[in-house]
Amino acid sequence: MIKLIEFQKRFDDRGSLSFVEGGIDIPFEIKRIYYLYNLNDVHRGFHAHKNLNQVAICVNGSCTFVLDDGKTRQEVKLSKPNEGLFIDKMIWREMKDFSSDAVLLVLASEHYDESDYIRNYDEFLKLCR
Q: Hey, which residues are catalytic here?
A: 47
Does the footprint of ligand T46 cover residue 68 (CB under 6 A)?
no
Residue 28 CB, shortest distance to ligand T46, in Å, is 14
Report yes or no: 89 and 50 within 8 Å, Cβ to Cβ: yes
Nearest one of 67, 40, 42, 68 to 56, comparing CA atoms:
67
Q: Is the Cβ of residue 2 or residue 36 nearer to ligand T46 in the bound state?
A: 36
Residue 86 CB, shortest distance to ligand T46, in Å, is 12
Phi, then psi, of 124 in degrees rounded to 5: -60, -45
Among positions 20-49, residues that touch ligand T46 (CB under 6 A) are 32, 34, 36, 44-45
Nearest one of 92, 87, 26, 36 to 61, comparing CA atoms:
36
Does the footprint of ligand T46 cover residue 76 (CB under 6 A)?
no
Nearest one of 9, 58, 39, 48 to 100, comparing CA atoms:
39
Q: Which helix (H) or strand (E) holds 49?
A: strand 44-49
Give the one residue of 20, 106, 125, 128 binding ligand T46; rule: CB under 6 A.
106
Q: Residue 95 pairs with which residues in a beta bridge?
A: 44, 65
Does the footprint of ligand T46 cover residue 54 (CB under 6 A)?
yes
Q: Is the Cβ of residue 37 or residue 112 nearer to ligand T46 in the bound state?
A: 112
Give the one residue of 31, 79, 112, 126 binding ligand T46; rule: CB under 6 A.
112
Query: What is the contact surface with ligand T46 in residues (CB under 6 A)?
Result: 32, 34, 36, 44-45, 54, 56, 93, 95, 106, 112
